[in-house]
Chains A and B, each alone.
Chain A
Amino acid sequence: MADKTSAAAEVAEPERRKVFRKIFRQLGVATVVTMFGKAVLDSRPARAASVLRPPGALPEPEFNAACIRCGLCVEACPYDILHLARWSDPAPTGTPYFVAREDPCRMCTDIPCARACPTGALSPLVTDIKKADMGVAVLVGHETCLNYKGLTCSICVRVCPIIGEAISLKPIKNERGVLQIPTVDSNKCTGCGTCEKHCVLAEAAIRVLPRELGLGVEGAQSVGRW
């Protein structure tokens, strides 16, 4: 399908130039293919998400295939918490995510984001926001969390939209006396991120992570004392 117009020019062209032209063309094609391939490999989905997805998101590999990066969920969110990943973001380009510490999910009961999704990447089967699984909260700062220091900050517990179920205070005893430890029930926590958002420390001691990252994934080996 080469241009008809260039065909005539080629007749008059010296042999050497034609060879160069061919080499350049092949080089060009090789460059395009390499760049393209690399961009794709770079954006390959990690096994687990490294960012928090909107409620109802399919497991990461399926989500990455199903989401067509349209941003309808982003526009549907009344609190404007969702972003489409840019090139420099840690998620595949164009997929929606949110950052708990900046703006957590408010757990709308009608889940407008999932309703807006045309592809089912945010599953239409999720109808109860309390069953959503965006991630899970993990108290990572055992040395910085104020409750571990014997105070009763408990902000993370008090702000939780499913207070008492997803997170509650559990007393433990140590040399300083009785400590009230914010304890997450991973089966009830939706990963909305509200606790992380409101942690009073400069950097949150409680983090909301995608489930696989927060809880780890069991390997094939049997573990424990058996």
Chain B
Amino acid sequence: MRQLQAMFFRNRWLFSRRIIQLLIIAAFTVELPAGGYLAQGNLSSSVWFGIGLTDPYIWLQSLLAGAPLGKAALFGVAIVAVFYLLLGGRIYCSWVCPINLVTDLSYWVRQKLNIKSNFTLSKNIRVTILMLSLLLSLLSGTLAWEAINPITLFQRELMWGSVAGATVLASIFLFDVLVTRRGWCGHVCPVGAFYSELGREGRLRVKATQVGACGGCAKCIKVCPEPHVLAPVIAKKATFVTSGDCTRCGACLDQCSTGALAMRLSFKKQGKFKGIPVVGGH
């Protein structure tokens, strides 16, 4: 019993994420006893309890492609954008996006099989693809990324067992397992890049609470899907993870056995770093 409890505690963030992710998928796919679904539409635009939500990145492509402004969509974009703007954009990546289930599985397989091969890709690739998708939307008059976006593809095709959808998911899975650690979400996907920019100032942040408690085991960095975001904190050069790239997945918190890290809402202005009051030794 103790052990089970401890196991849950050590994976509390992981389990919470999985529950939310699966609930979101279920809301779209599981028919209610009264008929209909909890949420209508898909992740580009959906209706929850009568409230419309629209993905700001897809909407931006649509706007650049030359669409007239739809009122309902505009309102839906505002809700979603403000949420991620305030809390942190890439919350989308680790709590909402269904592709995360695939890439997390890849990562798990990589760990289990102890695959070390890691083809270095620049994180700028995703920013380039983001820019390119916006430019191409402008030039071609169609939603460039939506032509291939595996996130909505997942909802549209894969759930109905399409070969094309399965092929795309399989390639992402293999790419992440065999080619590059956290290849897709960490380097390629422009949706992540978009939310990273949008949520640059997000206020939900990983905080180094008791600096003295950190034993320097670096387990957090090892599991972090975006390790560079933790580097300043572990090097004791910052108290908060401030990079927009942090997905708020909480993997670092699950790993940290000393309680040196915590997820906090911080509304203080994140000015220049002024040094951490060092308590205790090394």
Contacts and interface: CB of A to CB of B under 8 A. Distances in A.
A36 B120 contact: no
A39 interface: yes
A24 B67 contact: no
Contacts of A151: none
Contacts of A3: 120, 227-228
A120 B66 CA distance: 13
Q: Which of A21, A44, A92 has the most CB of B within 10 A?
A: A44
Contacts, number: 157
Contact of A2 (B120, B148, B153): B120
A61 B65 CA distance: 9
A173 interface: no
B13 to A, nearest CB: 23
Interface residues of B, number: 56
B259 to A, nearest CB: 25
A6 B164 CA distance: 35
A214 interface: no
Contacts of B17: none
B59 A88 contact: no
B59 A68 contact: yes
B132 A92 contact: no
Interface stretch (A69-77, A157-165, A187-195): A69-77
Given A68-B54, A94-B146, A75 B40 contact: yes
A118 B121 CA distance: 38
Interface stretch (B4-12, B98-106, B134-142): B134-142
Interface of B: 37, 40-42, 44-47, 52, 54-55, 58-59, 62, 65-73, 76, 119-125, 128-129, 132-133, 136, 140-144, 146-148, 152-153, 156-157, 162, 164-165, 188, 221, 227-228, 231
23 contacts: A1-B228, A4-B231, A25-B121, A36-B136, A40-B140, A44-B140, A45-B142, A64-B141, A65-B141, A65-B142, A66-B65, A67-B62, A68-B58, A70-B41, A71-B41, A72-B41, A86-B156, A87-B153, A87-B157, A93-B146, A117-B70, A119-B73, A121-B70
Q: Which 4 A-B pairs have the closest CB atoms?
A: A70-B45, A65-B65, A66-B67, A120-B70
Given A2-B120, A69-B143, A94-B44, 12 more contacts: A4-B228, A25-B120, A39-B147, A40-B136, A65-B67, A65-B142, A70-B44, A75-B40, A87-B165, A118-B72, A120-B70, A121-B67
